[in-house]
Chains A and B, each alone.
With several copies, the nearest count.
Chain A
Amino acid sequence: MKLITAIVQPHRADEVKEALAAAGIAGLTVTEVQGYGAQKGHAEVYRGAEYQVDFRPKIRIDVVVADADLDATLDLVIAAARTGRIGDGKVWATDLVEVARVRTGERGEAAL
């Protein structure tokens, strides 16, 4: 199995979720993260003093898929997350040595 991790714009998270659900992948885990990249941050001014906020809010989506689904899922996530503008994010995939469903203790692809 593979773990796909996608860092995406917060306002694309719903699209990604829906695209995955449409493809039959009904489980995923989402984390609020802060991204730093080519995209610039913003400045806030408090009583004349400027605070530079370098990080932008991003959503991290972790989804475990069967090996066979890796490429299709990657394409699908990228397509759903894309706006074409800087800051769209990154996606990466790792190989998993094991997966289990806590409720039943099932292992491997059966656990997905």
Chain B
Amino acid sequence: MPAADVAWMLAAFAVVLIMFPGLSLFYGGMAGTKNALNMMMMCMSTLATVSVVYVLFGHGIVVGDSIGGIIGNPSGFWGFLGIYEDPGEPMVSDPFWFAFYILFAAITVAIVASAAVGRMKFSAWLVFSLVWVTLVYLPLGHWVFGGGWMREHLDFHDYAGGTAVHMASGMGALALAFVLGPRRNTQMRPHSLPLVLVGVAMLWMGWIGFNAGTAGGANFLAQYVTLTTLLAGSTGMIGFCLVERLRDGRATTLGMCSGVIAGLVGITPAADGVDALGAMALGLAAGAVVAWACTWKTKLGIDETLDAFAVHGIGGIVGSLCVVLFGYAGSPAGIEGILFGGDWSILLAEIAAIGATCGYALVMTFVIAKVLDKLIGLRASDEDEYDGMDLSQHAETAYDAA
């Protein structure tokens, strides 16, 4: 029912849009008081920069005619010219899709920003984000969503962006954090957990739009993934909090919030492939593994501060593997999990897709960050860092009690 599809997609768009301030508040609440605004601006600015990129050449690179399976034709949709013909009767049309895809691209870049908290020049972030979306997200988007090689040659499963969105941003964050080096003072607590929860509120609501919107309309699939998205978020909480309880003695609010996001990241590639029990198991696994993965950065010695690597990178991988392990044959995706007797070949395809995505994002981000660091310098001065990025980059402070 094309008109009904339009009705749902418009609503989905509205709630996905609020994921941007949602992510900004989620990360901003976790940052220290002196870096909260800068964190929020890095996230929000992606809507501006990526919009421009998309309208100029970005959409072309993702879905334009494929050039050897590597990138789409950048000039394919220059200026979004000539996409405005009214099809006569309501159906989801180009102007909408183009807008929707901008959100997917921008949210990916916004996740990467979390790695830069408290130490990156704002101007450098703007340049980096322009380059990163162009050289990392857009090609990956072509491979996964467009006519690129992964889609053509790998029979992997990724429902709504576990690879190009979550793994890419998680790995990008890790590489960026590595190049930036640790903050001078890594002993910082979230400055406002209520703000973190406000962020989670917007993210979870938005995720329904994201996952059920990927269904492309008001159909059975959209309803199916609504159920799995709810359940995985819910049990993500349990998984993360359980690990905390066992390891640290107490379940925390930050843990609960992180667990929700971990469960949601995990279900993103798998929402159409697991049943209710599968979604719960997946959420539990994603929450628990991410809780564990959050501690790796200390061992790696990389100040990947807000754990995009663990939450989005590892969370996305866990979700992708879960659908391979216990996919439900009666689901819309129709994938029979290996544990239920399914074919092992999908595991290989999945691992190849994960490997290609992570490897590309990791290496490419590293190169971009290194080159930009040489060219323009990524890091703010020690003085600026000490004063806090809010003051030094934006001449502002988040709160004024007077």
Residues of A in contact with B (beta carbons under 8 Å apart): 11, 32, 42-51
The complex places the Cα of A42 from the Cα of B34 at a distance, in Å, of 14
Q: Are A46 and B291 in contact (CB under 8 A)?
A: no
A42, A47, A50: the one contacting B258 at CB < 8 Å is A47
Binary A-proximity of B176-215 (CB < 8 A = 1, otherwise 0): 0000000001010110000000000000000000000000
Binary A-proximity of B149-191 (CB < 8 A = 1, otherwise 0): 0000000000000000000000000000000000001010110
The segment out of B8-16, B45-53, B391-399 that lies at the interface is B391-399
- Residues from 47 to 92 in B contacting A, C-beta threshold 8 Å: none
Binary A-proximity of B288-329 (CB < 8 A = 1, otherwise 0): 000110110010000000010000000000000000000000
Which residues of A are found within 8 Å of B292, using beta-carbon distances?
48
Binary A-proximity of B237-263 (CB < 8 A = 1, otherwise 0): 000000010011110101100100000
The complex places the Cα of A90 from the Cα of B194 at a distance, in Å, of 35
Minimum C-beta distance from B118 to chain A (A): 14
Q: Are B189 and A42 in contact (CB under 8 A)?
A: no
Which residues of B are found within 8 Å of A48, using beta-carbon distances?
244, 247-248, 291-292, 294-295
Q: Are B298 and A49 in contact (CB under 8 A)?
A: yes
Q: Are A47 and B395 in contact (CB under 8 A)?
A: no
Q: Are A11 and B386 in contact (CB under 8 A)?
A: yes
The complex places the Cα of A11 from the Cα of B386 at a distance, in Å, of 8
B249, B250, B294: the one contacting A47 at CB < 8 Å is B294
The complex places the Cα of A45 from the Cα of B294 at a distance, in Å, of 12
Which residues of A are found within 8 Å of B396, using beta-carbon distances?
44-46
The complex places the Cα of A49 from the Cα of B294 at a distance, in Å, of 9
Which residues of B are found within 8 Å of A32, using beta-carbon distances?
401
Residues of B in contact with A (beta carbons under 8 Å apart): 185, 187, 189-190, 244, 247-250, 252, 254-255, 258, 291-292, 294-295, 298, 307, 386, 391, 395-397, 401
Can you identify 19 A-B contacts, CB atoms within 8 angstroms?
A11-B185, A42-B395, A43-B395, A44-B189, A44-B395, A45-B252, A45-B396, A46-B252, A46-B396, A47-B254, A47-B294, A48-B244, A48-B247, A48-B248, A48-B292, A48-B294, A49-B295, A49-B298, A51-B189
The complex places the Cα of A46 from the Cα of B391 at a distance, in Å, of 12
Q: Interface SS of chain A: helix, strand, loop or mixed?
A: strand
A-B CB proximity, top 10 nearest: A45-B248, A47-B294, A48-B295, A44-B395, A48-B294, A51-B189, A46-B254, A45-B395, A44-B396, A46-B189
Q: Interface SS of chain B: helix, strand, loop or mixed?
A: loop
- New A-B pairs, 15, CB < 8 Å, besides A45-B249, A51-B187: A32-B401, A42-B391, A42-B395, A43-B395, A44-B391, A44-B395, A44-B397, A45-B395, A46-B252, A47-B255, A48-B247, A48-B294, A48-B295, A49-B298, A51-B189
The complex places the Cα of A11 from the Cα of B298 at a distance, in Å, of 23
The complex places the Cα of A46 from the Cα of B250 at a distance, in Å, of 10
The complex places the Cα of A92 from the Cα of B255 at a distance, in Å, of 43
Minimum C-beta distance from A51 to chain B (A): 5
B185, B187, B244, B401: the one contacting A45 at CB < 8 Å is B244
Given A11-B386, A42-B391, A42-B395; A47-B291 close (CB under 8 Å): yes
The complex places the Cα of A32 from the Cα of B250 at a distance, in Å, of 28
Which residues of B are found within 8 Å of A51, using beta-carbon distances?
187, 189
Q: Please name the residue on chain A nearest to B258 by beta carbon.
A: A47
Which residues of B are found within 8 Å of A47, using beta-carbon distances?
254-255, 258, 291, 294-295, 307
Which of B248, B252, B291, B397 has the most A CB atoms < 10 Å from its CB? B248
Q: Please name the residue on chain B nearest to A51 by beta carbon.
A: B189
Which residues of A are found within 8 Å of B254, using beta-carbon distances?
46-47
Which residues of A are found within 8 Å of B248, using beta-carbon distances?
45, 48, 50
Q: Please name the residue on chain B nearest to A32 by beta carbon.
A: B401
The complex places the Cα of A48 from the Cα of B292 at a distance, in Å, of 8
